[in-house]
Amino acid sequence: MNSFGAWIVGLWLTYTVVLIVLSRYAKKKAESGGGDSFWVGGRSFKPWMVFVCITGLFSGSSFISVLELSYKVGISAAWYGIAEMVHVLIIALLLIANLRRLKMVTVSGLIGDKFGRLALGVSGAITAFTFPMWSVATALAFASGLHVYTSLSLPVSIAITSITLLIFLQSGGMWSIVVTQTANSLAFAAMFIVGGIAFFIEPGFDGLVQLAAVKPAMFSATNAGLQVIIAWFATFLINVFVAQAAFQMALSCRTPEEGRKGLLMAFGANVFFIVFGVLFGLSAAIVVPGGARGMIAIPQYLAQVLPAPLVGVFFLGIWAAALGWGAPCQFSGATSLGRDVMGAINPSLSDQRKVTYTKYALAALTVEMILLGLMRSENASWWNVLAWTLRNGSTFAPVLVALAWPLATRRGAIAALVGGFISGLTWYALGGWDPVKFFYNIHPVFIGMTFNILLMVLVSMAEKAGQWKFKFDQSSGRKTLGIVSTAALVIFVITALTQFNWLFQKGLIGLNLFLIVTAIFVNVMVFIVPIKSETAAAEQAA
């Protein structure tokens, strides 16, 4: 172990011990309020608590992804972070109040409340399976630093990172997360300062000018690939309705208004994570060009321009990002497994037993996280996209119809959950699991989402054949929504018929197909209503 490794390990261990001590306070808070305190902080968070939680969750994750991607594709990596910002803004403005009224804890719990125990168990299992994929994406960043600066192998570094996350979360649930995220916010600030120092030492603004001259593609807004960028936005926009970890944090606040305020504060703070992520990634591309792994090139770059203590501080920020994203994801996934899946198996379980099973689930998901890191360590951001493809492709339609379409059935929900998951996973496999080249040039996220919606609608309508009717006489708001979605449907169909080759070459045919199905989905929810509700309304009027 060289001096860089000694500083990184020393600061990391010190920071970790401090957080463990602070977690004792979190444990007392969690134990004082039972299951509700463990899962959603007793719904007593203040806006600043939501702010640090959401900032650590999404901004930390975006920073790691943008940092890695910008080393390879330049400034177009910023679109990943911008897509994340937009989705936080939508949650804050449109969803948080309604979800608070439902007293939601997990997305799988919402699905289970509407569609029964089997749907609860299936959605909880899918959610639990996918969350470690998000966790490992940021854990790989810190593990790469340990690997470069110490004698530890990458697998051992991944295991150490994963087990440390487990230690935190066994302490105090959601209270442990807010304590950790507060400390992480300070570590982020220190990391940005150190990274800025490194940039001005080398390469500076002159280096960026030279890079633009030698590799102008690095400054192209679409260098990451149009289909990939669109997939980022589509994935985050869809995630608005199923962002379980974010919901769990924001809904821990005392009122919906305070939760919204914390989300808006986090929205603004994300700008710094995007700008610095791109800047540091480009700097590494200039000083250490040609590397196969961006997360390996970053520590190599820093070692060339900074003394060991400052490198240690920078990677303390990377560790904070791993904690900020990985810890909530592991906790939220474990909540689905321990609370929802086990509750589906045995509905008579007490909240205390569910808390115990949640802690067991944390251990199980830690093992999964380590295995995933060993399977693919060269592309951290790919794990994020795969997780969104599988989780969102399974739960999107069931969540929407649970809130807005009374004709949805249990069999429809199960078909949508399983079909969306299998179709997205299969499409990735058919494309050789490549992060940018897809089977028939269609991103798997659009395949999963399309099957998810179609199965939800078709199975439900078939099961309730004869129990529904078209109703075009709607309220002005619903009628406007229906007209807009119908117009969009016509435009997307005409585009597909007249511009198919162009759409295929640009990798947009999957998006166009998904938009057509989504427009049909909106029309179904607006214009197809149960016959019995119409009859009841007529009888009441009479």
DSSP line for 86-132: HHHHHIIIIIHHHHHHTT-S-HHHHHHHHH-HHHHHHHHHHHHHHHH
**For the segment 53-70, what is each residue's pLDDT rounded down to a tens digit?**
888 877 777 888 899 899
Averaged pLDDT of the chain: 84
Residue 409's identity, in one-letter code, is T
Which residues, in sequence order, are bridge partners of residue 405?
none
Calculate mean pLDDT across residues 381-402. 86
**For the segment 187-217, what is each residue's pLDDT rounded down to a tens digit?**
999 999 999 999 999 999 999 999 999 999 9
Contact 116, 410 (CB under 8 A): yes
Residue 29's identity, in one-letter code, is K
pLDDT at 411: 95
Question: Cβ–Cβ contacts within 10 Å for residue 127, how many?
Answer: 29
Residue 239's identity, in one-letter code, is N
Has residue 44 got a pLDDT over 70? no
**For the segment 71-129, what is each residue's pLDDT rounded down to a tens digit?**
999 999 999 999 989 988 988 887 776 666 655 556 788 888 889 999 999 998 998 99
Sequence-distant (≥ 6) Cβ neighbours of residue 504 within 8 angstroms = 441
In our burial notation (b when 16+ CB lie closer than 10 A, e otherwise), range 229-244 reads bbbbbbbbebbbbbbb
pLDDT at 499: 93
What are the start and end residues of each CATH 1.20.1730.10 domain in the chain? Answer: 3-25+43-404
With a pLDDT cut of 70, the percent of the chain lying above it is 89
Report the SS3 class of residue 360.
helix
Q: How confident is the model at residue 387 (pLDDT cuts 50, 70, 90)?
A: confident
Cα dist from 52 to 191, 250, 262, whole Å: 16, 11, 8
Q: How confident is the model at residue 33 (pLDDT cuts 50, 70, 90)?
A: very low
pLDDT at 333: 84
What CA–CA distance (Å, rounded) separates 392 from 416? 11
Best mean pLDDT range from 128-132, 140-144, 253-257: 128-132
pLDDT at 161: 78
pLDDT at 168: 64
In our burial notation (b when 16+ CB lie closer than 10 A, e otherwise), range 140-155 reads bbbbbbbbbbbebebe
pLDDT at 430: 94
pLDDT at 119: 93
Has residue 287 got a pLDDT over 90? yes
Calculate mean pLDDT across residues 477-498. 93
More confident position, 366 or 139: 366
Q: How confident is the model at residue 26 (pLDDT cuts 50, 70, 90)?
A: low
What CA–CA distance (Å, rounded) separates 441 from 504? 7
Class of the 3-25+43-404 domain?
mainly alpha
Has residue 165 got a pLDDT over 50? yes
Has residue 256 got a pLDDT over 70? yes
pLDDT at 325: 78
What CA–CA distance (Å, rounded) separates 403 from 388? 21
Question: Cβ–Cβ contacts within 10 Å for residue 182, how many?
Answer: 17
Kindly report the backbone phi and psi dihedral angles of residue 506, in degrees, each rounded to the nearest multiple of 5, phi listed first: -85, 0
Percentages helix, strand, coil for the chain (3-state, rounded to 5) are 85, 0, 15
Which residues, in sequence order, are bridge partners of residue 529?
469
Strands 528-530, 468-470: parallel, antiparallel or unpaired by DSSP? Answer: antiparallel
More confident position, 421 or 167: 421
What CA–CA distance (Å, rounded) separates 208 from 242? 39
Read off the pTM. Answer: 0.78
Calculate mean pLDDT across residues 260-279. 91
Q: How confident is the model at residue 35 (pLDDT cuts 50, 70, 90)?
A: very low
Q: Mean pLDDT check: name the lowest of 89-98, 127-136, 515-524.
A: 89-98
Has residue 245 got a pLDDT over 90? no
**For the segment 423-468, what is each residue's pLDDT rounded down to a tens digit?**
999 999 999 988 778 899 898 989 999 999 999 999 999 999 889 9
HSE (side-chain half, CA atoms, 13 Å) at 469: 9
Calculate mean pLDDT across residues 228-243. 82
More confident position, 50 or 305: 305
More confident position, 486 or 252: 486
Nearest to 161 by CA among 127, 122, 132, 129: 132
More confident position, 169 or 299: 299
**Token reading at 44:** 């007593």
pLDDT at 378: 65
Calculate mean pLDDT across residues 38-56. 69
Q: How confident is the model at residue 171 (pLDDT cuts 50, 70, 90)?
A: low
